[in-house]
Structure 1
């Protein structure tokens, strides 16, 4: 973990209230799939934890959704602006020797799955991807996955794009039988995924204070009744380890 200044190269909307920010930073070379960075915003005390979506040389891509005043201000920042980043933080997705991998992304839980998919493809794995959103206006990253050679299955809750229903509905509709799963998304989705699969990992979303395990603001309980910190022990955990 280190603190570094990053220059905004691009900051553009890609879906309803979702923005893509590309930063030039020396942290890019250190980031692993599933990790995150803490972004300091001028005028705000707490940093914003945002998952690493893509890394290319000295460029780090973050996707974020406008959820409050901080991210709203973030969406107005112009190229050339410098931000303070802390990271990379957290435990990311293990990149194992699995021959087949099923990636499930839900909403703004989708961004870290792109870089994760790339890592598994580079290991020679067959990668299936199913992405879930509320409606067609929320869909993003289809082209980016296709650029990797993956045709993602799109699901929307209102049926306005792709398959109507959840990511698990998409898995069933396409007859995907892979049993090793990597997933990130809202808690109800991760709970359903954890009930359906026993092999793989889930990345949890949680409100964080410090982002590196000191403040205990993101504590959850594991199956043994022990406390775990999402920011430091996670955000990625084996399926079934944490009570969801």
Structure 2
């Protein structure tokens, strides 16, 4: 974990409530896709934990943010040049040494955010992932062109059928032959449904939780596992298929 100042460089609206933010600062503490940052905002007591979408060693940090309250509302409206107090390199990221030769990445809603950086890391290893994304509607979909530009195979599910397969990410996953391992991030019901698919022998799941501190001190984000309670911020946010208890 590292505390430092990041500067807002750019903000781009992707959907009605989802934004891409580009910040610059010290990214040396970020070591794996799936980690997150915790951002302090003026006028808000608690920091806001945000998944890392992508980063570069020369100091560029990309975040995808869904506006869900006052904190995220203020964050996406920061003007270029705004300095933000950021805790970076938090949590344990995805382990890209695991999984089959053709990795499958599954994201629901804003859960697609950390999968972009994960896809880039896998591609750097010579492994081309299949990316399965789920949204309520086609108007909520984002980053489809960005994933496609990487060369990923892309499958889309929407609840209203306005884009791709009508239904959920699990409806797309059932179409994949020999599905045995997944990397997943999204709302808890989606994670549970993916976890319950027959034939899976392993997987890594990124959990979300309300956080007080973001680095394991307050114990406010614990979840049950087969090995006892774990902290999403410190022991996660990535949990493995075999340790998850619903």
TM-score with structure 1 length normalisation?
0.95
Deviation for aligned residue 1:29: 6.4
Deviation for aligned residue 1:66: 0.7
Match of 2:225 in 1: 222
Match of 1:106 in 2: 108
Distance 1:237 1:88 in 2: 17
Runs of 4+ in 1 over 4 A off after TM superposition: none
Distance 1:157 1:200 in 2: 24
> Are 2:2 and 2:29, in contact at CA under 8 Å, matched by a contact in 1?
no
> Are 2:129 and 2:153, in contact at CA under 8 Å, matched by a contact in 1?
no
Structure 1 unaligned blocks of 5 or more: none
1:121-167 deviations in whole A, cap 9, x for unaligned? 11122311100011111101111111111131111011111111111
Distance 1:102 1:147 in 2: 17
Shift in CA distance, 166/184, structure 1 to aligned 2, threshold 3 Å: same
Distance 1:129 1:194 in 2: 16
> Are 1:31 and 1:52, in contact at CA under 8 Å, matched by a contact in 2?
no
Match of 2:160 in 1: 158
Match of 2:178 in 1: 177
The Cα RMSD (Å) is: 1.4
Shift in CA distance, 208/99, structure 1 to aligned 2, threshold 3 Å: same
Match of 1:22 in 2: 22
TM-score with structure 2 length normalisation?
0.94
Match of 1:39 in 2: 39
Pairing 1:213–2:216 present: yes
> Are 1:146 and 1:152, in contact at CA under 8 Å, matched by a contact in 2?
yes
Match of 2:136 in 1: 134
Match of 1:11 in 2: 11
- Count of residues paired in the alignment: 242
Tell me the secondary structure at the aligned position of residue 210 of structure 2: coil
Distance 2:47 2:28 in 1: 18
Shift in CA distance, 31/82, structure 1 to aligned 2, threshold 3 Å: farther
Pairing 1:123–2:125 present: yes
> Are 2:29 and 2:88, in contact at CA under 8 Å, matched by a contact in 1?
no
Match of 1:204 in 2: 207
Distance 1:28 1:163 in 2: 40
Structure 2 unaligned blocks of 5 or more: none
1:21-51 deviations in whole A, cap 9, x for unaligned? 1000112663420000001111111000000
Tell me the secondary structure at the aligned position of residue 26 of structure 1: coil
